[in-house]
Amino acid sequence: MSTSDQPAWPRHPLDPLTAEEFRQVTGVLRRDREVGPRWRIASIELREPAKDALVSGTGQAPPREALAVCWNRDDGHAYRAVVSLDSGAVTAWEPLPGQQPNITQDEWHECDEMLRGDPALAAALARRGITDSSRILTDLWAFAADLVPPRYRGLRLGWADVWYRGSEEGNPYAHHLSGLHPIVDLNRMALLEIDGSSSHGDALPEVMGEYLPKLIPMPLREVAPLEISQPEGVSFRLDGHLLRWQNWELRLGFNYREGLVLHTVGFNDAGRLRPVAHRLSFAEMVVPYRDPTEDHFRRTAFDIGEWGLGFMTTSLERGCDCLGEITYLDAVVHDSAGEPQLIPHAICIHEEDNGVLWKHVDHEFGPEVRRARRLVLSFHVTVANYEYLVYWRFYQDGNIECEVRATGIMVTSNFPPGEQPPYGTLVDNRTYAPFHQHFIVARLDLDVDGRANTVYAVESEPAAAGPGDPHGLGLRLRQTPLRTEAEGQQDYDWATQRSWKVVSTGTPNSLGTPAGYKLVPGGSFPALLDPSSAVLRRARVIEHALWVTPYHPDERWPCGDFPTQSAADSGLPVWTAQNRSIAGTDVVLWYVFGIHHITRPEDWPIMPVDTVSFWLKPFGFFDRNPALDLPPDGNSGCHPGGDGAGSG
Ligand SMILES: [Cu+2]
């Protein structure tokens, strides 16, 4: 996968679809499949070429194709199409009986507009003393199949919260109108009923739910300016979607569902570009609220499968979201009419100083220090009240860190005077934030030094005291190869410090040990759900921290292609029931991590970031510390060889 060997295609086959290509797909569907104004286009994305087609020996570009999912609102029938962008034709048209495609942003906005103009909701609000509909925000959620009332079976159904803004510019999510949930037929975009009418017999509680400087009841503190300057520019290079930095080389992709995708990640090791990963992305995010009361029992979000991280990606701003010398990439998604929509500055690329990378103070000659620098690729997603900030960080010593920060505004609701909430934390007057969990499934298609890889569970165990170890000090590693998909279902184990090592079955390193990368788990927590739970049936993936499957191009979505209104998980549990071999083959790791959000008063009214991460660390991939060749920093006294011993 050396870049010099890449055929000189005008566009790389992994480059995301352009605005023009979105228009072409929509035009072809309208012309050839009579996709008319009553249809919605749920998704259009690049149909990525098969792995083999990317390593083209002929210089021939693989076919350029798009995948589209659309449905007819009149009969509810959905279809999946393959559209050839080379020939401008629909080459496959697959009916999807009984499936609900992802909810579109257009439905969210149209539903809010419809509800705010609906007389039945206006009457319900008036009974609570609210007459100004401009202060109202409704927030649409998708259903689980099992929670759809029998009288509405077969409909594309949504339910909504109703929120009240305390002042014109006040926090829209500060005042929950608890016990008030419109149920909506999304295809007719009509209010079916309003569920629950209890307003706890009392006015909205007085709360301080604001975060704008002009609305908070305290003066702003003083902070001195902090500026980052790189007078000679950055040390990365971006050509189209190809990014090179400090021996790393990768391609950036983007789609409606995963948002940022990292393709063909490799490390240039003394002139040899060695593959590490074929593709890295987030494939699902499951957020169950763990509160069975009437306001929250339906509240489970599949933020990737139901809504799409790409659709919800927001533009980034210099000096606020990213500091320093920034390069931005725009992204293009589309609306439900199939028209392209530009997200300017969707992805931020920049370098950060990260403290010390390595150091030793020689007692005679003084210190030798190298500073660490990292390349950060980030994008931010706003999911109604919540934000997810995603950071992929590449380090000079071969490490890759994946960090997620959750911020924004928690879902809260109020409760009757004299009670206490059993399933959440009190955060303000008669106001609580329900406990919930954010399970993120990272899809890690690793190709460590090639495709033939084996995953090992690596555990530490104390050696039993014996003749060779009379002091009972020995610590041994137990390395267990995972040979089948059943063995690939792994849980986190604090007692053995379990981690997972992905090793190449090819050429070992110069020490004679296998070249590998280790998945260092972080942010792992158990589902803590009853086996009968509908959430578990729809998202079996959260039962384990890790799943390993043999690569299959169609296996992309761990909770199924269409989790919207799903009854059962048709992804990982179905594929892995085949119990295929995962030894010495092209493996995909599905790592489940996230935030077990036991809500705090400090998370209100806006939440300081909650941060979780996991790492991919080279383990025997290199023969020694791969960052020995870093130069000392400028004119500091941190290396005696240059500036004389022991200064500073
Ligand atoms: Cu949370």
Rounded to an integer, what distance in angstroms lies between the CA atom of residue 394 and that of residue 400?
A: 5
pLDDT at 8 over 60: no
Please list the residues that pair with 462 across neighbouring strands.
475
Instruction: Tell me the CA–centroid distance for residue 288 and ligand 1, in Å.
Output: 10
Distance 191 CA to ligand 1 centre (A): 29
Which of 326-335, 416-425, 467-476, 628-637 shows the lowest mean pLDDT across its residues? 628-637
Where is average pLDDT lowest: 53-67, 431-445, 591-605? 53-67
Share of the chain above pLDDT 70, in %: 95
pLDDT at residue 57, rounded to an integer: 60
Give the mean pLDDT of 356-378: 97
Q: pTM value?
A: 0.96
Ligand 1 centre distance from Cα of residue 612 (Å): 12
CA of 609 to the centre of ligand 1 (A): 10
Q: What is the pLDDT, as a whole number, of residue 464? A: 80
The answer, yes or no, to whether residue 642 has pLDDT greater than 60, is: no
Per-residue pLDDT, 157: 98
> How many whole angstroms from 605 Cα to the centroid of ligand 1?
13
What pLDDT does residue 250 have? 98
Q: What are phi and psi of 306, to 5 degrees?
A: -85, -35
In the prediction, which pLDDT does 644 show? Answer: 41
Are residues 14 and 45 in contact, defined by beta-carbon separation less than 8 angstroms? Answer: no
**pLDDT at residue 637 is higher than 80:** no
The yes-or-no verdict on residue 636 having pLDDT over 70 is: no
Tell how strand 475-481 and strand 453-462 pair up.
antiparallel
Ligand 1 centroid to Cα of residue 388, in Å, is 10
Residue 345 has pLDDT above 90, yes or no: yes
Q: Identify the sign of the CA torsion 557, 559, 563, 566.
A: positive
Question: Which pLDDT score is estimated for 242?
Answer: 97
Report whether pLDDT(643) > 50: no
Nearest 5°: the CA angle 64, 557, 439 is 135
pLDDT at 647: 36
> For 484-494, how does the pLDDT look when each residue is reduced to its tens digit (9 = 90+)?
999 999 999 99
Mean pLDDT across 533-553: 97
CB within 8 Å of 140: residues ≥ 6 apart: 103, 107, 108, 111, 112, 158, 159, 160, 184
| 616-627 per-position pLDDT tens digit | 999 999 999 999
Please tell me the distance from the alpha carbon of residue 208 to that of residue 196, in angstroms, as a whole number.
26
- Å from CA of 103 to ligand 1 middle: 21
- How many A from CA of 294 to the centre of ligand 1? 19
- Residue entry with tokens 């979780």: 612
pLDDT in tens, 121-143: 999 999 999 999 999 999 999 99
Report the C-alpha gap between 287 and 560 in whole angstroms.
16
Q: Provide the pLDDT for residue 54.
A: 83
Tell me the C-alpha distance between 281 and 377, whole Å.
Answer: 12
Mean pLDDT for all residues in the chain? 94
Q: Is the predicted pLDDT of residue 462 greater than 70, yes or no?
A: yes
Q: Is 454 left (phi over 0), alpha (psi -120 to 50) or beta?
A: beta
Mean pLDDT of 364-373: 96
Residues noted as catalytic: 303, 386
The tens digit of pLDDT for each residue in 96-124 reads 999 999 999 999 999 999 999 999 999 99
The pLDDT tens digits of the residues spanning 188-237 come to 999 999 997 665 656 789 999 999 999 999 999 999 999 999 999 999 99
* CA separation for the pair 110, 117 (Å, rounded): 11
**pLDDT tens-place string over residues 434-459:** 999 999 999 999 999 999 999 999 99
Nearest CA to 456 out of 446, 442, 466 is that of: 446
% of the chain at pLDDT higher than 90:
89
| 465 confidence band (pLDDT: 50, 70, 90) | confident
| Å from CA of 297 to ligand 1 middle | 16
Instruction: Say if residue 535's pLDDT is above 90.
Output: yes
Q: Compute the distance from residue 97 Cα to the ligand 1 centre, in Å.
A: 34
Pick the more confident residue, 317 or 372: 372
pLDDT at 5 over 50: no
Q: What is the DSSP string of 36-86?
A: -TTEEEEEEEEEPPPHHHHS-SS-PPPPPEEEEEEEETTT--EEEEEEETT
Closest-CA residue to 287 (of 400, 393, 405, 437)? 437
Band the pLDDT of 602: cuts 50, 70, 90.
Answer: very high
Ligand 1 centre and the CA of 436: distance in Å? 6
